[in-house]
Amino acid sequence: MSAQVAYLGTSIADWMAELSSSDPLQRRLGAYALGEIGPAATEAMSDLAATLQDPVGFVRVWAAAALARVAPSRGESAPVLIAELGNELAFVRSLAAWHLGRLGPAFPGIEQALLPLRQLAGDKDPSVRVEAALALGMLEEKGAPPPELKSLSSSAYGVASRGFVDASPATL
């Protein structure tokens, strides 16, 4: 008998049910949890794929990131994240860049993200510029942070000693 897979004591089926909640924060949480479960949550693939069409940008981003962890060979994740780099909300653009960087240079279709990420160097929001620069560094397999970051002060972002390199948007 195999153990039931769960995240934080909640089953895959229950996290899948969150994807259809009327609350976008619950939908985001469901996507995040399924991504944390990873390949063991393959039964959630079609629900996560459907959530890529969610009306809320940050939910689409988390669904794409989760689908990338559950089924990396599916081709939907990178295009959705790339599309969200153009979202009107800065935190969604920043979040999409953050996730793209973490997919890594070998992820299918990631090369299509390089130009849009470079274009974010001129974004009006500093967090978007930083996350895009960090993502480019990760995707281009550069070990050091991009030179643009040296001129940016962490105080410009309201972040004391933590900095953006160690910050996680998991609380978004």
DSSP H or E segment with residue 10: strand 10-11
- Give the pLDDT of residue 5: 85
Q: Which two tokens stand for residue 112?
A: 């299509």
**pLDDT averaged over consecutive 10-residue blocks of the chain (172 residues)?**
74 97 98 96 96 98 97 91 97 98 93 96 96 95 54 41 38 44
The pLDDT assigned to 141 comes to 74
Note the pLDDT of residue 167.
Answer: 40
Q: Are 70 and 43 in contact (CB under 8 A)?
A: no
Q: What are phi and psi of 47, to 5 degrees?
A: -65, -40
CA 86 to chain centre: 14
Q: Would you state the pLDDT for residue 73?
A: 87
* Cα 81 to Cα 76, 110, 133, 153, distances in angstroms: 9, 10, 16, 27
Cα(103)–Cα(71) distance, integer angstroms: 12
- In whole angstroms, what is the distance from residue 130 CA to residue 105 CA? 18
Which distant-in-sequence residues (6+ apart) come within 8 Å of 2 by Cβ?
none
Between CA 55 and CA 94 the distance in angstroms is: 18
